[in-house]
Structures are given as C-alpha cells and as structure tokens.
Amino acid sequence: MTGLEPSTIRIGRRYRPARLDTPYDVLVVGSGIGGLTCASLLAEAGRKVAVLEQHYTAGGYTHSYSRKGYEWDVGVHYLGDMGRPTSARRLFDFLTQGAVDWAPMDSHYDRFYLGGRRFDAVAGRQAFRDNLVASFPAEQDAIDRYLAMLSEVGRAMGPLSLARVLPPWLAGLLSPWLRYRLPPYLFRTTREVLGELTRDPDLIAVLTGQWGDYGLPPGRSAFLMQALVARHYLHGGYYPVGGSWRIAESMIPRIQRAGGEVFTYARVSRILVEDRRVAGVMMEDGTRIDATQVVSDAGILNTFGRLLAAEVAAAAGFDPAAPALRPSIGHLGMYIGLLGSAGELGLPRANDWVFPGNDADGAVARFLDDPNAPFPVVFISFPSAKDPDFEQRHPGRSTIEIVAPAPYEWFERWRGTTWGKRGDDYDALKERLAGRLLATLYERMPQLRGRIDYYEVSTPLSTEWFAGYGRGELYGLDHTPERFRADTLGPRTRLSGLWLTGQDTMSCGVVGAMMGGVATFAAMRGVLGSVPVLRRAFRGWPGA
C-alpha cells in the first residue's frame, strides 16, 4: 500500500529568494543533525547561518512524518547514553535547549533472534556482562576482555577526534603521540578482533547483534565502529518523548536568534568555487547566494560528485573509486499503522533483531547473490510503545517500523522516476518485499494478524529522493577499516572555505553525526577559538 498525501510534520521555513536575508556568514547545505549541530554552534558564536535543506522538512534522518493518522520516525529508532549526564546527553540538552526528554526502553532493550535462539542485550554494564556470562559461562574471560576493549576505544576517541580537527601540519607533528594513544586493533575488522577473543560463533553473533546500526557484518566492519555502537548502548536505549521531529524543532530557534534561518525546499545545484576559494552556492532556481564559508552536510560523495564542478572536485583530490569512499548499502523501510494501543497489542519497548543464523557475513553474501535468500537481518521497532506521549497524540493507534537491507541495484531500473509514480511493476516488487517483512513480523508476534490498518514501504529510491543520497545509502560511507584509516576524511577539504560535516566526517548514527557537527565547528573556529562555546555546550542546558 502507499499513501501520497503530504506529511503534516514540517520543520523549517519554506525557501523563497525574497526570504533570504543576505549576507550570511556561513551557508550549510543539508539539515541533518550534523548540519544543524554545526549551524547551532556557529550561531552560539555569533555567526549568521543559512541552512539549505532540499526536503520539505528539516532534520535529515531525525525527521518524522505522518500519514493516515499515524506518525513514524525515519531514523531515530533509539539512542544510547541519554539516561546519564554523558557528554552526548549534555550536548543534546544544550542544542535542544532542554526541550527534548528521553524515555527509557525496557531493560532488555535489544532482543537478538539467531535462528531459533534468543539472546538479549540488558541495560547497564554489569547487567549486560552478567547476562552474557549466564548464556556463555565458558566465555567469561572473553566477555570481560571485550568490555575492557570498549573502554579503551572510548578513551581513544579524544585523540582520534583531535586528529580530525587539527590543521594537517599540527596533526602531523602530533602523529607519534596520537599513534601511541590509539589501540592497534581499532582499524582491523571486527571479525579479526573478536576471533582472537573467542571461537564461539553464537557469542560473536550476539556481541555484533547491532551490526545493522552501521550496515556492515563483522567480516567487513572496522572494530572501531562496532565498539562505538556497542559502548553507546551499554546503558540501554532511549526514545525522544513526543517524536524525533522535536529534535530539529528545538534546535532551530538558536539559529534564528542569531539572524539565520533553516530553509526547506531549498535545493542547491552547485557549490561555487573561484580561484580555489568558495564563493557561495547556486540554487536550483538560479539564485546565487554569496558566502565565503560553506559547510556541506550532504555527504562526501554528493559534495564532490554532484555539488562541485568535476574539474574542481578532481583538483581537490576527489577519487570516487577510492576504497574509503564506498557507499553503504541501501535499505527497505516498512511503516505500519495498527488499530489498538501499544498496550492492547502487547508491543514491547524494545527492538527485535531477527537473523537467519549466527553467520552474518555468510548471510549477507547469500542475500547479495540471491535476492530470494533470507534477509541477513530484519530490525523491528515499536515507536508507539517507546514514546509515552504517543497515546495522547494518537489515541487507540500504534505503529511499527521494520528495516532490512536492500541493494540499490534491485531498483536501479526505476532511477530518475518520480516518487509515488514509478509504475505497477515497482509497486508489485514493493508489495512482494512487504509480504516477506510481514511474515517475519507475524512469526514473532502472531497476535498482530488482522490488526494492521495501513502500511507503506520505502526503498533506496525513497532515500535518494528525499535525502539526496545517489545510491540510496543509509549510512553514508561504508564503515570499513579503509574508511577510518583515510586521513582525508574529516571536516577539512583542500578548498578554502569548504567544510564537511555529518556522518561521513566522524561516524554514522545520530550521535556520531552530531559529533561530526562539533568537529566541523571546532575545525572552523580553531581549537582555542571554539573552547568558549564548546565549554557551554558540553555543560548542558541549565536545569537539565
């Protein structure tokens, strides 16, 4: 099924050339959490910023949409580190001015189904550890060593982030110290690292059960990324009360108070460069907006492959074939509306991760080779159960979201077609895929048969249409060892005045992209120049 009426959740001001209040100190292309974070911090430093978002609503993957009386998020299925005064929580409180509360999920917040067996991730470091040891008593030493490595990765993030922010000449001077501070296993594959801790395939599958959060199975992912995600959720999962759209809504006023604005329907066709210096942007309607500083939150491949002239991108060292620049896999998103409250239907405040077995790499390989093979992972989320405010907004209704990988190649023959008007063959393919996803849902929760009132399915073409990613990639660049070894990936570019931010700058995920915004701000202002604002930002919102 598909619905075509527009969403009722629209954040930001619709772009019109007459609404521009030029000049602006900085232009930000894209309003994902990285772009909004950078713009908010620049506004706090007194800069006038225009954020240019091509979608009808601001927020990137933090936006929500409504249809047929239901409401879904598109990317904020849950966050970690929100239940304690962590740096991520303090920064969120500052950016949203304390306006977003976070509801805890169940203590067993992630449930992993490996074939016919179930294992749970339990909130709290000690509880997480004890639950694992109870399931794998012979692997106690491996589990303890793994948790110690997560702490080591956490301590390494300061030096690693600093290396991305510093000017290249200074980072080069400090490289011996930085190498000394970084554990040697950071840039190895997850499977290599875990294979030295244990040979139990079930334990490896459970430890990496959240690999769908960054899109790569353990044989291809950098252990750095695996550790960041696992560490992020050690103390449980949290959901934004009122829906994820509240994040962008709460961030925009700071930008506006400094004279800036967040514009929607504002499609940038070109970043203008003159004599290797940024000169502004050209809008799709032909309007030129001059500025000497442009921050791109559109992704590295979009920025250099579409927004810059080919000769400019080549001169700046962009090589689309570089191993570090491989786009991540696309995905299916299924958005389900049900009659009945979450309580009535027995929906949990948890996520279900459904795997065909304990070999993620083998499952991915079989799936890519044969589209009819089982999905290597199916993620099922219950946002209406996680949000304590949902019943008040939508009484007697509830929602489910399902996410599964889907290569862009499956849908490439419809490339260039219009969303909602891609033809009967495309709709039939989506319906077949929807049937497979629903079969997985009903296997877990048979009580939902006959209770679904509405559903729709998004594909990588939907991601391309709404988010602008050319291959429908969900996580920007693949989080491989090659990606993290590349010293060219960071806020800086070789073009004066052009900066990068968002998930390609640091890592994927809401907090990873948000920290990318922090890194870009620090690089633009200089480490010392950014300290006054960052000190306030990481102190959090007064009274939070």
What does the pLDDT look like over 106-136, one tens digit per residue? 999 999 999 889 999 999 999 999 999 999 9
pTM exceeds cut of 0.75: yes
pLDDT, tens digit, 9 for 90 and up, residues 385-431: 999 999 999 999 999 999 999 999 999 999 999 999 999 999 999 99
Comparing 542 with 514, the larger pLDDT belongs to: 514
Count of CB atoms situated within 10 Å of the CB of 60: 27
Q: Is residue 493 part of a domain?
A: yes
Share of the chain above pLDDT 70, in %: 98
CB-based contact 11:63 (threshold 8 Å): yes
Average of per-residue pLDDT across 35-58: 97
For residue range 526-540, list pLDDT tens digits in order.
988 999 999 999 998
Residues 260-297: pLDDT tens digits? 999 999 999 999 999 999 999 999 999 999 999 999 99
> CA distances (Å), 188 to each of 124, 179, 221, 230, 458, in order?
27, 15, 8, 16, 33
Number of domains in the chain: 1
Q: Is residue 327 part of a domain?
A: no
- Classify residue 450: in a domain, yes or no: no
**Comparing 142 with 159, which gets the higher pLDDT?**
142
Distance CA 74, CA 510 (A): 12
Sign of the dihedral defined by the CA atoms of residues 115, 331, 386, 452, in that order: negative
Parent domain of 49: 13-100+242-322+486-539
Q: How far apart are CA 438 and CA 449, in angstroms?
A: 9
pLDDT at position 7 over 60: no
Q: Is residue 307 part of a domain?
A: yes
Question: 298 in a domain, yes or no?
Answer: yes
Q: What are phi and psi of 438, to 5 degrees?
A: -65, -35
In a 13 Å sphere around the CA of 355, the CA atoms on its Cβ side amount to: 26
Q: What is the pLDDT of residue 530?
A: 94
Coil, helix or strand at residue 126:
helix
Q: What is the CATH number of the domain that holds 65?
A: 3.50.50.60
Classify residue 68: in a domain, yes or no.
Answer: yes
Tell me if 373 is assigned to some domain.
no
The pLDDT of 374-392, averaged and rounded, is 97
Q: How confident is the model at residue 543 (pLDDT cuts 50, 70, 90)?
A: low
CA distance 76 to 431: 25
Tokens representing 415? 């490339």
In a domain, 258, yes or no: yes
Give residue 474's pLDDT: 87
Pair 83, 102: CB distance under 8 Å: yes
The tens digit of pLDDT for each residue in 74-99 reads 999 999 999 999 999 999 999 999 99
A 10 A CB-CB count for 502 gives: 32
